[in-house]
Amino acid sequence: MVQFGYTMMTEQAGPRELVAHAVGAEKAGFDFSVISDHYFPWLASQGHSPNAWTVLGAAAQATTRLPLMTFVTCPTVRYHPVLVAQQAATVQLLSQGRFRLGLGSGERLNEHVVGGGWPGVDVRHEMLEEAVGIIRALFEGRTLDHHGPHYDVEHAKLWDVPETAPPIGIAVSGERSCRLAGHLADVVVATEPKKELLDSFDRHGGAGKPRIGQLPVCYDTDRDAAIERAHDQFRWFGLGWPVNSELPHDGAFASATQFVGKDDVAESIPCGDKTENFVEAVRPYVAAGFTEIALVQIGGAHQEGYLDWAAAELLPALREL
């Protein structure tokens, strides 16, 4: 059976609110939760970007059964991979084994803040592959000395190692990332319902492994208000990963989406309160072969009503799929 998840969007809510949303998602009956890991929001209208790892620690204590996952962390520029390994091991311990570490090659939007430029995509994939090797070695409790093409590690060791290491997910958007994920990941992550991504993942060693998709939605009893909010905060979503990964700040995203209209957004994001529209938006992910689908309710101040509606109507309807 396909599982359905809740997304803690750090770009649209503060830290205390995000933890409360996770608690609400657990109560509503969501099967799992993921959290974005940003330094910047995509658009200024979203208005937030607290530290995801601090929120995860609090959410791990505030919930009891809800699986947690980064969706996704870039372990190459803003974070050194030894730090990501320590953070992930700690959250796995705090959550008593409910954590998965989602990784990706990153976005300039978040990684530029530490300086040093933004590598080309081929270099980013090389860095990610090396980072995953470092993280896995530290999860094994080894004392690690490593001198690679991109990272130096000197006598690193995790002193608090979970009995079960967090499974590692890798985000994919094309053939190169699918090859990397098939070889290295326990889970594949994608934000588009493209069967060809999963087929490529399988060809490169991913057959039988979980695959998680993500879909933005905008629940509101006033459909016009939902469309307005989705356009205001999420019109960047249709730009595609090759564009999204290269834009440097929220102003660039605003410029890149200035000609995206409300009708364009309404065609790609289910808005309103008609359950059947949300079910139809999820159906392509199920058909493509995703085993888990994380929904993103747009608007940080519009989560409580969504969670109540999801518990009463949306989740039961989705599970009929």
Classify burial at 111, counting beta carbons within 10 Å of its beta carbon; exposed 0-12, middle 13-18, buried 19 or more.
buried
Helix residue ranges per DSSP H, 11-120: 15-28, 52-62, 81-94, 108-111
From 150, 147, 148, 146, select the one nearest 119 (Cα to Cα): 150
Closest CA to 157 of 245, 89, 244, 233: 89
Name residue, tokens 């990941």: 185
Take residue 187 and report the two structure tokens written for it: 């889970």
Crossing angle (nearest 10°) for helices 175-184 and 121-139 = 10
Residue 310 CA, distance from chain mean position: 20
Catalytic position from the list 21, 38, 112, 231: 38
**Looking up tokens 């590598």, which residue turns up?**
119
* β-strand partners of 215: 295
Reading the block at residue 39, the tokens are: 């330094």
- Residue 38 among the catalytic residues: yes
Residue 253 amino acid letter: F
Pick the catalytic residue: 11, 26, 107, 292? Answer: 107
CB atoms closer than 10 angstroms to residue 48: 16
Between the alpha carbon of residue 125 and those of residues 115, 122, 170, 177, 181, the distances in Å are 19, 5, 11, 7, 10
Yes or no: say if 84 and 101 are a contact pair by the CB < 8 Å rule. yes
Residue of 283, 310, 301 whose CA lies nearest to 5: 310
Pair 182, 205: CB distance under 8 Å:
yes
Residues identified as active-site: 38, 107
